[in-house]
Chains A and B, each alone.
Chain A
């Protein structure tokens, strides 16, 4: 069974940095593109970016590219999202997702981790 378990969320002050993790199990992690998607408290969904199965290539939403970095450790079956200089508008639930063999649609989602940016 495919499982994606995010962690690392919480309350963080504006301007701070935060690193989210997603541990994958139930499939060969190194075979799949992985993505991060976030959902605001108002339920707006936003794709953050994705990373190729070998970590050699990433794509980002242009509005987040300068502050967010996606990486992965295939030996640990773990996906990461490094967030820097966070703002109140980054308050959201962050989901780790996996496609069905391509990076296009998201066949599997984690349970999400909530990030709240507030002083």
Chain B
């Protein structure tokens, strides 16, 4: 299985700040990566697919980048509604696997 290591596990940031979350795969996943946001008590929602493609309706302050084994999710100008947990998921090879998640809080 491809292991996905996400960092940091938790993050505290101020409104308006830029936040970056990293995801490292145990092998090259050739941009087969998605990012999800999960607000407290809610189901996950897709943000990014194919490492850098924004899902319909997702605000443009979210962006994804990376290649090979290293990927990142960036949130520009942090808003209060961005308080959530974030997960990466690889779909280059079965079984699909998730990162451990990053809990984002406001400072």
Selected contact of A109 from candidates B45, B49, B85, B91, CB within 8 Å? B45
Q: Which of B19-27, B68-76, B92-100 contacts A (4 or more CB under 8 A)?
A: B92-100
How far does the alpha carbon of A103 sit from the alpha carbon of B49 in the complex, in Å?
12
Instruction: Assess whether B101 is in contact with A45, with CB atoms less than 8 Å apart.
Output: yes
Closest partner residue, chain B, to A93 (CB atom): B43
Across the interface, A106 reaches (CB within 8 A) one of B44, B85, B95, namely: B44
- Give the total of B residues in contact with A, Cβ under 8 Å: 21
- Bound state CA distance, A62 and B97, in angstroms? 12
Are B98 and A47 neighbours in the complex by a CB distance under 8 Å?
yes
Closest to A47 in B: B96
Q: Is the Cβ of B95 less than 8 Å from the Cβ of A111?
A: no
Partner of A59, one of B43, B44, B94, B98: B94
- The listed residue (A47, A59, A100, A111) touching B49 by CB distance below 8 A is A100
Say yes or no: is A60 at the interface (Cβ < 8 Å to chain B).
yes
From B43, B55, B91, B95, A61 is in contact (CB under 8 Å) with B95
Across the interface, which residues of B come within 8 angstroms of A105, CB to CB? 34, 46, 49, 89, 91
B36 within 8 A of A: yes
Give the B-binding residues of A (Cβ under 8 A).
43-47, 49, 59-62, 95, 100, 103-107, 109-112
